[in-house]
Structure 1
Amino acid sequence: MTHPMEIFFFHLMPWPKMPADLTEKYRSSWVVLPNELYDPEFGHQLYNDYLDQLEYADQIGFDALCVNEHHQNGYGLMPSPNIMAGMLARRTKQARIAILGNGINLRENPLRVAEEVAMLDVVSGGRVISGFVRGIGAEYFSLNLDPSQSRSRFHEAHELIIKAWTHPGPFEWDGEHYHFRYVNVWPRPLQQPHPPIFSPSQGSTETIRWAAKHGYPYICTYTPIDQLVEYYGLYKQIAAEEFGYEAGPEKFGWTSMVYIADDEKTAIEEARPHIEYFAKRCFALPPQMLVPPGYTSKESFRRMVEAQSAGRGGGGFDYDNMIATGQALIGTAEQVGERLIRNMERAGTGIFMGAFQIGDMPHAKVMDNLERFAKDVMPHLPRARFDYMAKGPSVQPA
């Protein structure tokens, strides 16, 4: 049986002009990549191209538009996803705005997130999805934070934000990491009791358990299908055995790169340099930056290593393996649609987050890619509109 699904446009807003000798010269595209390589004049056009792509996706029928937070890198140029979400809130009409997500434990004051997301929800007419993340290890180098405190800070920040949205203020908060004499958030979010919460992650056992406990949709980016089956299976088991509900497809989201052309050979050839740019330059991240000491548990580290090994064919960048494992959907519209449905069914997920802008892919090619998907793939997909606030199965036909 084919799962009904929602279609999101997942955008990283990468810098497309990183040098080919990046790893030899600078070691990483994160934290230490000199900012003199950033050209603000070109950046002006780039940001507007990226926003045009997201706005176009709203016009052609995508269910949601995704923005995210990363710092001091060429991988994703959104140190403030809420600024991007604010632009989209006024310039889009239909699609949800999925902030995937705010690094709530990276903030000295999580109430700023509560205020900003509530304001975005009101301005957008209740279209915000609020993702909460810890941030990958590199963020702790960029922001000079102790990674060993990331999880406890995250949990407390989450509890504080939810209470600020759902309890009358003012009230006092005296926690382990955060202390406020007055918590009294204005404005309140339009969606009640609060906007839907998503939990993006890369297979951390602790995060899977936390998401299942709260009934939050669990989102994985660029993860091989075999690993998705394992992660989602664990979520379903925890949800059923520990919290008494059945987790349906609306609880699981998955990101894959997408590129469509008239024939498969052309699609593979045209997408290759952009996916290679993404893998070798955007994600040029040494292990000690990705997972610094104290950042995660041994079990979660093992899962991460296994997923990366599977996704890369056991070694470095492997384009064919990325296609084989579902991290990239490349081909004709018919092939992409068939593989998308097959992978969604196998993983049991109802949320597809397509990366239609890949690496250094130019604007015109991205727009054509979006148009092909909307015209030739989306009409053949079983669509839905999910109620993400419900714990149990909750699908409404589109």
Structure 2
Amino acid sequence: MKFYMMHLMPYADLDLDYDQKHNSAWITLPNSYYDPKKGAKLYNRYLDELEYADQLGFDGICVNEHHQNAYGLMPQPGVMAGALARRTKKAKIAILGRALPLLNNPLTVAEEFAMVDNITEGRLIAGFVRGIGAEYHAWSSNPALSHERFHEAHDLIVRAWTETGPFAFEGDQYHFEYVNLWPRPYQNDPHPPIWIPSQGSSETIEWASHPSRRYTYLQTFTPVAMLVKYMQMYRDMAAEHGYEATEDQLGWSVPLYVAETDEIARREAQPHIENFLNKFLRMPKEMLLPPGYLSLKSMLGVMKAKSSIGTKQTIDAVIEKGMFICGSPQTVREKLAEYHSQIGFGHLLTLLQFGTLPAELTRKNMELYANEVMPYLRDHAAKKVSVAAE
């Protein structure tokens, strides 16, 4: 099992009474709520936290893309990846991801990712996403074209990474007379690893699991019951294609908080995880799932997985659903080991800062997790592999 620190870089200084006047922290929340002086300090604090994760021995650090909201201050995650490229030494840098359907020129991502891959000498993980529905409102992009633009942009980027140029690319969405990427990626056998985060679209799972790709699929912020379903869906689709999916093809992203005891962990985490759920994630359902964004089949599944968004949530409810891991090192170890045995994911992406969680508690969380949870789970996973091999 590999361990990653995921960061959303929220605007933690948000006036939490904003919802007295506004119904969402996304798209429609006036940017007058953002103070650049406070934001500048947050950016540098968050970069420090990700650099510290490298020092603590995490296998990777993760940044991502969101637009026009207080939930995540990374509209251009490549900027953060570039800042981290020279300041980290061992951890993979996962950009999870770029929302390909929003791009007018996907070659900018091919170039950007190739640069980071060269600077880090092969530590890049490329994440490609369709982007959640709110991003289509932010960019005034047609969600009905999401799948088509995603697939075509993906094909263009992979060809740019792997084929000798110049060559022409003629698609329905993108047209280039010259594709001739400089620089080429450092990882060229055949290209940087590609991960596909998703909310649970069956079309996305089917596409990622195809034998021509076999991309790592990441399930994000989902009840464990639905996580089990989606992980098994990937395995089933791989089996239909004639191969057995490995744990390396499956990943899970989940917020987590560990403290000295269960009581301390719950007390310290409660206000911040509830702010994350009820203030930062706040958006109307039509913003999350605009018409045309999903097929009916996927829409029903995602609505079930994300049914709690828009309703008031408590720490107890999300702990019970497995959407938040919280407790002493022993509690967290046992719970994650149980889920790993049940589900079999190979990549665990923990959100160790969430909502308004302050710097001192984030550092404490990181240190306890890295020193008292990760080593146990590495042993647990190694023993599981050993038993399976016998």
What is the TM-score normalised by the length of structure 2? 0.95
- Counterparts in 2 of 1:282 and 1:383: CA distance versus 1, 3 Å: farther
Alignment of 1:237-316 (within 5 A): 237-241=236-240, 243-309=241-307, 316=312
Aligned residue for 1:61?
Answer: 57
Which of 324, 327, 339 is equivalent to 2:320? 324
Structure 1 CA distance for aligned equivalents of residues 311 and 124 of structure 2: 39
Counterparts of 1:101-250 in structure 2 under 5 Å? 101-192=97-188, 193-213=190-210, 214-241=213-240, 243-250=241-248
Letter in 1 for 2:361: K
For residue 182 of structure 1, give the secondary structure of its aligned residue in structure 2. Answer: strand
1:324 deviates by 1.5
1:33-59 Cα deviation digits (max 9, x unpaired):
111110111111100100000000000
The offset of 1:315, in angstroms, is 5.3
Letter in 2 for 1:129: I
In the alignment, is the contact (CA less than 8 A) between 2:278 and 2:311 conserved in 1? Answer: no
Aligned equivalents of 2:41, 2:17: Cα separation in 1: 25
Structure 1, residues 352-393: CA drift from partner, whole Å, max 9, x if none? 11110011111111011111111111221226999xxxxxx9
Per the TM alignment, residue 68 of structure 1 is displaced from its structure 2 partner at its CA by: 0.2
Query: Which amino acid is 1:329 matched to?
Result: I
Query: Offset at 1:308?
Result: 2.3
Cα displacement string for residues 167-215 of structure 1 (whole angstroms, at most 9, x for unaligned residues): 1100001110101110001000011111000000011011010110120
Q: What is the root-mean-square deviation in Å for CA atoms of aligned residues?
A: 1.8
> CA, structure 1 residues 35+238, in 2 after alignment: closer, same or farther (shift >3 Å)?
same
TM-aligned CA deviation for residue 228 of structure 1: 0.9
Whole-angstrom distance in 1 between the partners of 2:321 and 2:15:
28
1:24-43 equivalences in 2 (<5 Å)? 24-43=20-39
Q: Distance in 2 between matches of 1:189 and 1:247?
A: 26
Partner of 1:18: 14
- The alpha-carbon distance between structure 1 residues 383 and 161, as it changes in their structure 2 partners (threshold 3 A), is farther
Offset, 1:348: 1.5
Aligned to 2:388: none
Counterpart-to-counterpart distance in 2, 1:346 and 1:325: 15
- The CA distance in 1 between the partners of 2:368 and 2:265, in whole Å, is 12
- Structure 1 residue aligned with 2:79, among 79, 83, 88? 83
Aligned length: 381
Task: Identify the residue that residue 390 of structure 1 maps to in structure 2.
Answer: none
- Using the TM superposition, give the Cα deviation of residue 155 of structure 1 relative to its aligned residue in structure 2, in angstroms: 0.4
Letter in 2 for 1:231: Y
TM-score for the superposition, normalised by structure 1: 0.93
Decide whether the 8 Å contact of 2:337 with 2:380 is kept in 1.
no
Instruction: Supply the distance in 2 between the matched residues of 1:145 and 1:384 (Cα, whole angstroms).
Output: 45
Q: Distance in 2 between matches of 1:333 and 1:55?
A: 23
What CA deviation, in whole Å up to 9, does each residue of 1:302-329 have, x standing for no partner? 11121123x67x9531321211122111
Query: Counterpart in 1 of 2:338?
Result: 342
Residue type matched to 1:251 in 2? Q
Unaligned runs of 5+ in 2: 386-390
Query: Would the alpha carbon gap of residues 383 and 133 (structure 1) be closer, same or farther in structure 2, given more than 3 Å must change?
Result: farther
Distance 1:385 1:94 in 2: 21
1:272 partner letter: Q
Q: Judge conservation of contact 2:251–2:348 (CA < 8 Å) in 1.
A: yes
Q: Distance in 2 between matches of 1:173 and 1:383?
A: 47
CA distance in 2, matches of 1:130, 1:152: 19
40, 50, 73: which one aligns with 1:44: 40
Give the 5 Å matches for 1:366-385.
366-382=362-378
Partner Cα distance (2:269, 2:326) in 1? 8
Q: Is the 8 A contact 1:225 1:347 kept in 2?
A: no
Deviating more after overlay: 285-294 vs 320-329: 320-329
Partner SS, residue 317 of structure 1:
coil
Instruction: Give identity over the alignment, percent.
Output: 49
4+ runs deviating over 3 angstroms: 383-386
Instruction: Give the drift of 1:226.
Output: 0.9
Aligned partners of 1:211 and 1:217 also within 8 Å: yes
Q: Distance in 2 between matches of 1:33 and 1:105?
A: 24
The letter of the residue matching 1:7 is F
Which segment is superposed worse, 259-268 or 129-138?
259-268
Give the unaligned 5+ runs of structure 1: 387-392, 394-398
